[in-house]
Amino acid sequence: EAQVTQNPRYLITVTGKKLTVTCSQNMNHEYMSWYRQDPGLGLRQIYYSMNVEVTDKGDVPEGYKVSRKEKRNFPLILESPSPNQTSLYFCASSLGRGGSEAFFGQGTRLTVV
Amino acid sequence: GESVGLHLPTLSVQEGDNSIINCAYSNSASDYFIWYKQESGKGPQFIIDIRSNMDKRQGQRVTVLLNKTVKHLSLQIAATQPGDSAVYFCAETNQGGSEKLVFGKGTKLTVNP
C-alpha cells in the first residue's frame, strides 16, 4: 500500500530538548516536504526536498533542520524546540515536481512545554 | 509576497446541491494549482490539479476552474454528499521556479442532510 509514515503521531516534550520526527515513503517519490498546520494559518511549508541531498527552505524554516540522505526518508529535526513550535506537522511526498499530487502522512501533533 | 487566500472561511450547503469553493492567488508566476481535502484528524488528500495552460479540468464530481486574468481558482463539487464535509485547501506553486508549495488558509465545507 502506498503510504507516507510519520513517527511519532503524538509527542510532548520540553523546551530545548532535541527531537526528530521521522518520515518515510514507499513510493519512490523524489519530492518530499514538511508542513506545519496552525489554526487560522493553514498549512505552511517548512522545508522541501526535490531529491536526495537536495533540500530548500519553505516559508517557515526557522528552528528546523532536515536531511535527505536517502530517497525514502526525510526527517525533521528540532535542535532546540520552543513553545511556538507547538503545532500539527505533516510530511508529504510526490512523484512530480512542485508537490504535484502529494501524498500526506497522518500528522504528528507536537506540544512543547 | 506570495500568498494564496480564500474568499470564504466556511460554506454550508444542502445535501445534493452543488458547492463552489473559491480561492484567490497573488503570484502571477504560479503555474500549477492543486485542491486538497482534509477530513478531521487526517492529512490533506489530493483532489484535483490544474496547470496554468488550462482554464478548466474535470474529475469525478469535481471541476476546477482557473482564471489567470483575475488570479482566481475555484473548486466545484457536484451533488454534494455528507462525505464531502471537510476543509478544502487550494495550493499554488511555480514548477518552473522555486517549486515551493503555498497553501491557502482553507474553507470548511459543511453538508447538511
Contacts of A40 in chain B (CB under 8 A): 105
DSSP three-state, residue A19: strand
Best A9, A43, A93 member to test B by mutation, with max B CBs in 10 Å, is A43
CB B4 within 8 A of CB B26: yes
Other Cβ atoms closer than 10 A to B5: 13
pLDDT of residue A39: 84
- Comparison of pLDDT for B97 and B78, the residue scoring more: B78
Residues of A with CB under 8 A from a CB of B: 4, 31, 33, 35, 40-45, 48, 50, 56, 58-59, 90, 92, 96-107
- Identify the DSSP state of A68: -
Return the H-helix or E-strand segment holding B73.
strand B72-77
Nearest chain A residue to B50 by CA: give it: A100
* Structure-block grid coordinates of residue A16: 530545548
pLDDT at B7: 47
As given in the structure block, the three cell numbers for residue B1 are 509576497
Mean pLDDT of B37-48: 92
Average pLDDT over residues B51-59: 95
Q: Which residues of chain A have pLDDT under 50?
A: none
Q: Which residue has the higher pLDDT, B105 or A33?
A: A33
**Strand pairing report for A87-94 and A65-66:** unpaired
Q: Residue B11: pLDDT above 90?
A: yes
- Minimum CA–CA partner of B1 in chain A: A59
- Cα dist. B19→A10, A31, B22, B62, B95 in Å? 34, 32, 10, 9, 29
Query: What pLDDT is stored for residue A40 in this prediction?
Result: 79
| pLDDT for position B5 | 52
When pLDDT is averaged across residues B67-86 and rounded to a whole number, the result is 96
Q: What spatial distance separates the first Cα and last Cα of chain B, rounded to whole Å?
A: 41
